[in-house]
Structure 1
């Protein structure tokens, strides 16, 4: 998705310049500099690689990579991420691949997970020990670029699927064809979109299953709740300020009382502190309209809401009842619709779990579920 600008938003022009410059400096030299053109390249093609240190408890090797993907409109882009492989001998046909979709990190280029060294995430060791190649996409705009299109489903899905393609193009990785998508929180949203579009966008990938932990399964409900909920407010503010920048038709001034005239207060940094924005006033006083009820916001939210369906790709969805960021009812509604469509869904709901619990506690279960599918066993199905 091409980041747009409008004469009415000078702060956005400044922000785009600042985050672009920030993304090109620091410890990584010119690794995140992109080619002048991507003409003649295809999604998944490798642009460059370099070794990266992993925070791994098992013998493994890792690379920071730049690869070709596409934005939500199908335009070629340069994206980055990390590929890790175990050092045990690969099986016949190569290691299966888990393409990992991370949770919210921010939207500026410097927020890319691949910029962190040693690279790690919950589950990395378990997957490497179980014999998987792990391919972790940064997402569009994190790493190279200007700003990440936050919770833009097609953009997320394309970079996640193309990350698997890229890993399979690296001979030193010994990656096989079998591919699984795992995602948490924002990455759960990305995983559900990958499930939705894999058959059309990446029919060459043998996507065997999708794991979505605490996913944003109902984007309009997620944004609406954040209009008045302290826990979710930062994510709603981030979504709306970000979309003002990435969608030319979206103007955040039409739904706010002026506190987002300078969106850099939300978009700058990787963990912005928004407490100062709300000090001394209620969240309700910040909005002049509900974006889920007015255009173009309502249509944009609907377009980026994952759609359940029967795609022949089993789903494992994990959700906690004490999650204050993702309403369990929205995940249940997605599961019900996927079941009604005929997809095989293993829905694991734990009443006492909060938003962090799935990624902290459910990785072994997700790894077993993935291994069953890799072994050719039928998927668990709680729909029946």
Structure 2
């Protein structure tokens, strides 16, 4: 399967060990080809979000890092998107590193993965599978910003939802991707015929459009599901794609804003606890009053310092013994 993306290389001469490498995994933009970050333009449908992340990545390039950014399979090039399918996201991120070194051998083999939202989920899976999937590279660490998690809980929330919900468009992406990659999942046993007919809408607009208007923005979630939907296989698949269960050989920097209304702060608190519980080295940092996208600017200096330290060979610290909480006190 062809996977598209971008490669950004600093100007000047590379260091002796090659350019330090960052693999970027982006947040949700949509399923249609025009939603891919590599297709972004000043008036593009997802430029509002992509301009924020691009500014952060441009700063890394100016500081001497190569940044490679996958569109993920099925977005930017023909194919079936692997939305929140961790192994598919991870392979997409790693394969573009390999492609980048075919373009320029001055790109080094030591790398850090970074991602936001969907990309935070992808980041953690990339870091988990990277050492085995791409042993020619050396993983130094990963930065997961407001990672998507608890996918099955989101599905169950919309199945009973009685008011239009911003979660519903994201769940339609999950349903279609999971039905493609887990053939035991049958959408006709989950969604009504009318809802199935409107799935094509998700291939025309991008996520900001899907959240603002149209069938999936305006519909009552529970009415999209058949009576007693067959969720067994779906929930088994979502459980297999939960990032908190992962074993990651390199240290993790986990980032969450306390005012995030897209990824619940309590969900990332749980991811931190779960990653620590299975033995990972995690530095969990929370940012007061930072929104889902605002946390990128709030954490910028800390992320840059953490990434610099990984390439400098400084041992990462973990706060698993006393992790903070991003959830507001009740």
- Structure 2-normalised TM-score? 0.84
**Distance in 1 of aligned mates of 2:178 and 2:127:** 23
If asked which structure has higher relative contact order (CA below 8 Å, sep 6+), I would say 2
- C-alpha displacement at 1:366, in angstroms? 0.9
- Are 2:165 and 1:230 equivalent residues in the alignment? yes
| Residue aligning to 1:88 | 12
- 8 Å contact kept, 1:102–1:185: yes
| Residue aligning to 2:46 | none
Change in 2 beyond 3 A, CA 1:284/1:352: same
Change in 2 beyond 3 A, CA 1:220/1:281: closer
**Distance in 2 of aligned mates of 1:273 and 1:177:** 39
Task: Tell me the secondary structure at the aligned position of residue 144 of structure 2.
Answer: strand
| Residue aligning to 1:15 | none
Change in 2 beyond 3 A, CA 1:341/1:303: closer
- Are 2:122 and 1:190 equivalent residues in the alignment? yes
**Distance in 2 of aligned mates of 1:140 and 1:330:** 26
**Distance in 1 of aligned mates of 2:172 and 2:97:** 31
Q: Per-residue displacement from partner, 1:87-140 (whole Å, max 9, x unpaired)?
A: 032111111100000111111223221122589623122111221000011110
- C-alpha displacement at 1:241, in angstroms? 3.5
**Distance in 1 of aligned mates of 2:315 and 2:73:** 34
- C-alpha displacement at 1:330, in angstroms? 1.8
- C-alpha displacement at 1:82, in angstroms? 0.5
User: 5+ unaligned residues in a row in structure 2: which ranges?
Assistant: 43-49, 322-330
Choose from 310, 315, 326 the match for 1:378. 315
**Distance in 2 of aligned mates of 1:280 and 1:155:** 31
| Residue aligning to 1:313 | 250
Choose from 108, 111, 115 the match for 2:39. 115
- 8 Å contact kept, 2:84–2:118: yes
Choose from 174, 177, 181 the match for 1:239. 174
Change in 2 beyond 3 A, CA 1:129/1:156: same
- 8 Å contact kept, 1:108–1:146: no
Choose from 121, 131, 136 the match for 1:199. 131
Q: Per-residue displacement from partner, 1:317-356 (whole Å, max 9, x unpaired)?
A: 1011221221222211121122222221110112412211
Task: Tell me the secondary structure at the aligned position of residue 131 of structure 1.
Answer: coil
Change in 2 beyond 3 A, CA 1:106/1:215: same
Choose from 217, 220, 223 the match for 1:285. 223
- Are 2:228 and 1:304 equivalent residues in the alignment? no
Higher strand share: 1
Change in 2 beyond 3 A, CA 1:287/1:330: same
**Distance in 2 of aligned mates of 1:123 and 1:356:** 12
- Are 2:70 and 1:137 equivalent residues in the alignment? yes
**Distance in 2 of aligned mates of 1:290 and 1:102:** 35
- 8 Å contact kept, 1:106–1:270: yes
| Residue aligning to 1:348 | 285
User: 5+ unaligned residues in a row in structure 1: which ranges?
Assistant: 1-76
- Are 2:186 and 1:251 equivalent residues in the alignment? yes
Change in 2 beyond 3 A, CA 1:123/1:281: closer
**Distance in 1 of aligned mates of 2:149 and 2:299:** 18
**Distance in 2 of aligned mates of 1:344 and 1:258:** 46
Higher helix share: 2
**Distance in 2 of aligned mates of 1:167 and 1:256:** 41
Change in 2 beyond 3 A, CA 1:265/1:309: closer
Q: Per-residue displacement from partner, 1:45-82 (whole Å, max 9, x unpaired)?
A: xxxxxxxxxxxxxxxxxxxxxxxxxxxxxxxx221110
Choose from 129, 145, 153 the match for 2:86. 153
**Worse-superposed segment, 366-375 or 195-204:** 195-204
Q: Per-residue displacement from partner, 1:132-168 (whole Å, max 9, x unpaired)?
A: 0000111101122133221111110001012122222
Change in 2 beyond 3 A, CA 1:281/1:145: closer
